[in-house]
């Protein structure tokens, strides 16, 4: 009774103002989102310590079950330690009173008090910041995390749409400070999320989040932020989650697409049934069909490229992840390259869609923070209570290469001559580096409300299975929607 889960939302039957009902979204029922999310967590061998694993080709099929978390063969792990970055990538704005994080000063910097003495007291920092950023259009993605005692804009109790796995406070997480860090771009301020402003800017429009469980994480953060000013009407169905804000006719939608490209299971060439096949050069047709309904799309993907699938280009099998029939013959495309190709494919297809002229925001790879192992080999993010200090960022080889391939795929699509000025509607929301510092923002062991759950290392030294991939809500993920608002504002008001 505490929360309206996605599952609950599927029960309402509503008439759609648009012809969405006629669109054949081949996604399973919303209940399967929950299962997918769980599967992603449990089948996702993340972390740079397994880089070798990702590049290897495997014929073994790993049948992963929800409640059994350690069935990946640890012999494929390549535990090469990460190297620490040699210099902090952050710059410090000298006239900015918001101190960058550091271990000594972090907790008692008070935002919005000492810096505003010269201003009339009823001008909020956010209004100032908005004015600043209109003028400069600064780079939002380089900066630092600053402590903000004002805390988040919602709590686990004030947001009814919160997946239990991300309800860290509700799941017993003892510390709360991680909720209070704000992202501060070096050259300007990123305004705090202004739900009224968002709804006004988006009046009559539809924003869709498309992707996997991390996209759902972001969508739910958006819903929590908006819920604080208006209770939306559930217009979702079994195929798509949709919420309508009456006052402004704004629709927030979410579509599941794990890889963003065409996916099928039928036998193909020498790849048998039961193995997922991806046509890397064809966009997910369900996205293409739905696009005319959307005005802004926040797109993301990536983590499913760690899962088993077969890659097809020009109707030829060119590679596979955790599947390759003949180890003596090298595959042409590994999962990292496949990811880059898929990004280029979907971006190009969206930009060229005849009936979609919306704004497309590609949210970059969301970094995970498993330490001391992968998700299934004792990796942990327990006990991280604040962001890493500048200069303390630990490079993660897999994160870096996935981000690089993703950005390259994006830029190749944007550079397509055929797009003309439509390329201006493609935006890269480049959060990967900033979120590399947020090892404190994940649920860790606080993934479930089970009061008996194990949150400490066992006698064998092993931590319990953790979620160091998704983000607590409220938490750092809310920053993504502040960025989305800023990108939309710049697009609509900018010129």
Ligand X SMILES: *[C@@H]1O[C@H](CO)[C@@H](O)[C@H](O)[C@H]1NC(C)=O
- Contacting residues toward ligand X, per CB under 6 A: 2, 120, 122-123, 156-157, 167, 169-170, 292, 354-355, 420-422
- Which one is catalytic: 368, 440, 467, 478? 467
**Residue 303 annotated among the catalytic residues of the structure:** no
- Which one is catalytic: 48, 133, 213, 221? 213
**Residue 69 annotated among the catalytic residues of the structure:** no
Beta carbon of residue 257, minimum distance to ligand X (angstroms, whole number): 17
CB of 309 or CB of 360, closer to ligand X: 360
Question: What's the gap between Cα 242 and its chain centre?
Answer: 18
Beta carbon of residue 139, minimum distance to ligand X (angstroms, whole number): 25
CB of 120 or CB of 314, closer to ligand X: 120
* Interatomic CA distance for residues 430 and 482, integer angstroms: 13
CB contact at 8 A, 201 and 491: no
CB of 140 or CB of 162, closer to ligand X: 162
* Interatomic CA distance for residues 357 and 126, integer angstroms: 30
The strand pair at 261-264 and 277-283 is best described as antiparallel
* Interatomic CA distance for residues 148 and 174, integer angstroms: 19
Grouping H, G, I as helix, E, B as strand and the rest as coil, residue 388 is coil
**Residue 144 annotated among the catalytic residues of the structure:** no
Q: Looking at residue 322, what DSSP letter applies?
A: S
- Which one is catalytic: 262, 369, 442, 470? 470
Which neighbouring-strand residues pair with 27? none
Beta carbon of residue 28, minimum distance to ligand X (angstroms, whole number): 24
The strand pair at 261-264 and 206-211 is best described as unpaired
Q: How big is the CA angle at 477 (ends 440 and 336), to the nearest 5 degrees?
A: 85
**312 membership: H or E segment, kind and range:** strand 309-313
CB contact at 8 A, 387 and 431: no
CB of 81 or CB of 420, closer to ligand X: 420
Beta carbon of residue 33, minimum distance to ligand X (angstroms, whole number): 20
CB of 46 or CB of 350, closer to ligand X: 350
Beta carbon of residue 322, minimum distance to ligand X (angstroms, whole number): 34
Catalytic residues: 213, 467, 470
């Amino acid at each position: 009774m505490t929360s309206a889960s996605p599952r609950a939302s599927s029960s309402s039957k509503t008439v759609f103002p648009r012809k969405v009902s006629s669109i054949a979204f081949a996604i399973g029922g919303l209940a399967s989102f929950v299962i997918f999310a769980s599967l992603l967590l449990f089948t996702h061998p993340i972390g740079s310590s397994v880089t070798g694993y990702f590049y290897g080709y495997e014929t073994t099929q790993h049948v992963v079950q929800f409640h059994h978390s350690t069935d990946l063969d640890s012999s494929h792990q390549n535990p090469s330690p990460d190297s620490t970055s040699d210099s902090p990538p952050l710059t410090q704005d000298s006239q900015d009173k918001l101190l960058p994080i550091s271990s000594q000063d972090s907790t008692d910097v008070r935002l919005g008090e000492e810096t505003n003495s010269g201003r009339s007291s009823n001008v909020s920092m956010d209004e100032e910041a908005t004015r600043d950023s209109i003028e400069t259009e600064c780079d939002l993605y380089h900066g630092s995390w600053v402590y903000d005692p004002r805390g988040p804009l919602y709590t686990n109790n004030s947001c009814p749409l919160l997946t239990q796995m991300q309800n860290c406070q509700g799941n017993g997480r003892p510390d709360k400070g991680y909720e209070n860090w704000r992202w501060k771009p070096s050259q300007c301020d990123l305004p705090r999320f202004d739900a009224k402003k968002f709804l006004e800017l988006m009046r009559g429009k539809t924003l869709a989040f498309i992707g996997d469980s991390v996209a759902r994480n972001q969508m739910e953060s958006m819903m929590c932020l908006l819920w604080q000013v208006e209770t939306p009407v559930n217009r979702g169905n079994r195929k798509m989650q949709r919420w309508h804000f009456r006052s402004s006719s704004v629709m927030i939608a979410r579509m599941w697409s794990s890889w963003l490209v065409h996916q099928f299971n039928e036998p193909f060439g020498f790849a048998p049934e039961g193995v997922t096949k991806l046509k890397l050069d064809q966009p997910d047709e369900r996205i293409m069909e739905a696009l005319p309904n959307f005005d802004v799309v926040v797109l993301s993907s990536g983590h499913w490229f760690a899962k088993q699938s077969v890659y097809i280009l020009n109707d030829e099998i060119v590679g596979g992840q955790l599947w390759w029939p003949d180890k003596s013959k090298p595959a042409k495309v590994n999962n990292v390259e496949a990811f880059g190709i898929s990004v280029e494919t979907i971006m190009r297809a969206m930009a060229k869609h005849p009936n979609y002229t919306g704004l497309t925001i590609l949210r970059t790879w969301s970094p995970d923070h498993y330490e001391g192992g992968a998700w299934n080999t004792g990796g942990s993010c327990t006990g991280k209570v604040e962001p890493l200090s500048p200069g303390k960022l630990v490079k993660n080889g897999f994160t870096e290469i996935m981000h690089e391939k993703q950005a390259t795929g994006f830029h190749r699509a944007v550079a397509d001559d055929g797009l003309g000025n439509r390329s201006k509607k493609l935006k890269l929301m480049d959060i990967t580096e900033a979120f590399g510092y947020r090892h404190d923002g994940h649920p860790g062991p606080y993934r479930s409300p089970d009061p008996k759950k194990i949150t400490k290392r066992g006698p064998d030294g092993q931590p319990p299975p953790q979620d160091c991939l998704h983000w607590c809500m409220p938490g750092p993920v809310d920053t993504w929607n502040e960025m989305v608002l800023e990108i939309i504002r710049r697009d609509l008001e900018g010129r």
